Amino acid sequence: MTQIEFNNMVNSHSSSLRLHALNFTKDVEDANDLVQDTMLKAIRFYQNFEEGTNFKGWLFVIMKNTFINNYRKNTKAKILITQDDDISSANLLLSAEKNGSVSKMIVDDIQKALDHLPEAYSIPFIKYFEGFKYHEIADELQIPLGTVKTRIHVAREMLKKYLKMYAKDGSDL
């Protein structure tokens, strides 16, 4: 099957994907985003589809996994927002931005820290941060699963050292 034929098959299932996405999200805008993410991932990884298997089922599995990964990311992001009545300046740094320049400085610092990482560590870490699973990273980079886990762990530790100033108590991220 050619890439164009595959893309046409994906597009032909967009309406059923949208209905399925509404079951997950209960919101039209979020459902549209989920459908778009699903279709992009399907097209991106079309070589993983085995002809003769259930195409629609394959798309639904991609959608389910995408929804779960997005849910996990959103849950982690909500943890960073303080729920305390007593909001200290340390908590304000985590839950609100003072102005655009502060957030730009933070993003620049994170980018500099990522730039200091050796490529062998930064690539798996960034892919994991983007929502890829360990086994997906291992397959794409053609390295053992254990190596992926180790490199992501080492990258985290290196980033903690570079970004120590942003830790809540100054000692750990």
Every domain of the chain and the residues it spans: 1-79, 89-173
- Rounded to an integer, what distance in angstroms lies between the CA atom of residue 65 and that of residue 9? 20
Q: Say what the pLDDT of residue 117 is.
A: 87
pTM: 0.45
Q: Is 89-173 assigned to CATH 1.10.10.10?
A: yes
- Between residues 83 and 142, which one has the greater pLDDT? 142
Q: Is the pLDDT of residue 97 over 70?
A: no
Tokens of 81: 């927002």
- Between residues 103 and 170, which one has the greater pLDDT? 103
pLDDT in tens, 49-84: 888 889 899 999 999 999 998 888 887 776 665 555
Q: Say what the pLDDT of residue 64 is.
A: 93
Q: In CATH, what number does 1-79 get?
A: 1.10.1740.10
Q: Say what the pLDDT of residue 150 is.
A: 93
Decide if 1-79 and 89-173 have a common fold: no
* Mean confidence (pLDDT) of the chain: 81
